[in-house]
Structure 1
Amino acid sequence: MGSQYLVITVLSNWLVILLISLWLCSKVRLDNFFKYIVLAIFTLHLFVLHQYVLYFNIDWYFTSTYNGEHQMTANLSLVPFHTIIKAFTTPVFVPVYFVQIIGNLLLLTPFAFSLRYLSIANSNFKAVLAMFFTSLGIEVTQLFQTYLSSGYEHFQGRATDIDDLMLNTVGAVIGVLIYKIFMKGFHSRKASITSYT
């Protein structure tokens, strides 16, 4: 029975992310080889992101003991900069804090770059806005998952932190800036080659 739930877990998770990937790919304009590479990395990153931040373990709910004591506030932090300040003011150096900060800062950076470079988003603002709502969706989903799993014994919920939303959004801005620098360099190189020939 457990193996059946495991199959359902794997299929449901990957089917959702596959459909999202196909929908995004349908909006891409591929007119050079480098865009194919970016699209491949973008799609791979989408699957990896889902695996680490949104994977919904259906199998666990059917094999764990339910106690009915759900907690909405478990692992919830709505105070801006609380986690960031804590990382820099803790007397003892805790590497995991900085790994989380850097990880959240860079989490959506490739996505923002890809949205602009692959012409999925037709403006920098829309790319950043899309990443903001993506991050918000991740945090709300993690809150929902934590609430569900808190009703079971030995639950390990995901953290829902407003600082994650802020860092993800700043990371999206970084991705857009990288895109602008990249395109400026690309056009400069193209202009120099044209003038040379």
Structure 2
Amino acid sequence: MYIAFEGVDCVGKSTQIELLKKHFSDAFFTKEPGGSELGAHLRKILLESKIQFSKKAELLLFLADRANLIDMYLTQNKNKLIISDRSFISNMAYARCDFDQNILFELNSFATGGIFPQKVVFLYGSKELIAQRLSKKDLDSIEKRGIEYFLNIQNALEETLEFLKTKIDIKILKLDASLSIENLHEKIKGFIDD
């Protein structure tokens, strides 16, 4: 089973994934962007570089990372539980202001070879929670876009998940990131084990 964690920065995806590593020790854990060697280089370029990109170039770099991750790693681990910090869903949400959703879905279908998460854990936070957690971080180029940007992306993630229900077979667990770490962990474990 392939499970993706979705949500904007600072909602606790990484914390929950770290907890799951203890519970699902045989699972294959990955992230997007950066789950492969190529992806690590692309992540650096996309998030830390001063290089300017067109929106189309940025989209295609994320798609290249995704295609490589799936071809080189996910297909080899398809018999294991796969847990990913983000997936094509984030890519669609971040790009939907600039590109048609159906085109984004087709491009991602090509990049993934039709390999999509079966389950999604969607963590969401209030404006106050996200702002408070962002204030404690060294911000990358995307995080520097500000709180309103993240709230718009959070809405886009929710809309993208609704759109995807019409395209693929996907189960979604939506959780408020302000719940305790332990409470979230128990709900997520139950969702994965179900």
TM-score normalised by L of structure 2:
0.29
Structure with greater proportional strand content: 2
